[in-house]
Amino acid sequence: MAGRKHPGDGDTASRILDAAERLVQRRGFNGFSYADVAAELDITKASLHYHFAGKAELGEALIDRYANRFTEALSAIDSRRSDAPAKLAAYANLYTRALRDERMCLCGMLAAEYQTLPQQMQTAVIRFFDDNETWLRHVLEVGSDEGTLSVSGSPSNTARLVISSLEGAMLVARPYGDVARFQAAARQLIASLVARSPAPTA
């Protein structure tokens, strides 16, 4: 059991999460150890265990924090973008920003290691994708109703297509170190969903 928290403990926990997130997004969850985090932050492994009892607890905290930030970003998109195509473009830009920082989507990286993750992390990864699917489904439904998007098939299946396509485009762009490759794929994906205006009648 962890002892009493002291001033500065929150800052140390945040630094640990920051370092671990960078490592996961570049190496994967199984590609780093507590020793790597301790060395990067110049702290002891005992200090890591004080804040996060084990790597599974650290991983779950990473996903929770990442998912909360993603939810805040989606809320910001909802408040700033008026139409569905713009919201989809802003959603894709969240992935672009990660690639520019030479990182991958945290939960995308974890999904690749899903079978080796602790149960609580598996549950958190699924919850992240479910939440994204719910948000995208709503955007697609609104866009379809307004006539700004053309959705063939169910909005749920299309939402899954969007997530899968963007995650896959990130993965393929990574070895090339080419953000433009991802952006081109994202633009084409969104363009395929945007409703075309009817041709003017003679």
Contact call for residues 128 and 66 (beta carbons, < 8 A): yes
What's the confidence (pLDDT) of residue 196? 75
Computed on alpha carbons and rounded to an integer, the radius of gyration of the chain in Å comes to: 20
- Highest mean pLDDT out of 45-49, 62-66, 79-83: 62-66
* pLDDT value, residue 10: 63
Given a cut of 70, whether residue 32 has pLDDT beyond it is yes
pLDDT averaged over the chain? 90
Highest-scoring range by mean pLDDT, 25-29, 31-35, 101-105, 131-135: 131-135
Give the pLDDT of residue 2. 31
Average pLDDT estimate for 88-105: 94
Res. 4: pLDDT tops 50: no
pLDDT score at 135: 98
First to last CA, the chain: 78
pLDDT at 3 over 90: no
Per-residue pLDDT at 5 exceeds 60: no
Contacts of 120 (CB under 8 A, 6+ apart): 56, 60
Helices (H), the chain: 9-27, 34-41, 45-51, 55-80, 84-100, 106-112, 119-146, 155-173, 179-193
pTM of the complete model: 0.87
| Torsion over CA: 165, 170, 175, 178 (sign) | positive
pLDDT over threshold 60, residue 9: no
Q: Between 162 and 199, where is the model more confident?
A: 162
Backbone φ and ψ for 149, nearest 5 degrees, come out as -125, 150
Q: How confident is the model at residue 81 (pLDDT cuts 50, 70, 90)?
A: confident
Is 90 exceeded by the pLDDT of residue 6?
no
Residue pLDDT, tens place only, 108-167: 999 999 999 999 999 999 999 999 999 999 999 999 999 999 998 899 999 999 999 999
Give the pLDDT band (50/70/90) at residue 197.
low
Question: Fold for domain 9-193?
Answer: Tetracycline Repressor; domain 2 (1.10.357)
Whether the predicted pLDDT of 202 surpasses 70: no
* Distance (Å) of CA 134 to CA 31, 52, 144: 31, 31, 15
* DSSP label of 149: B
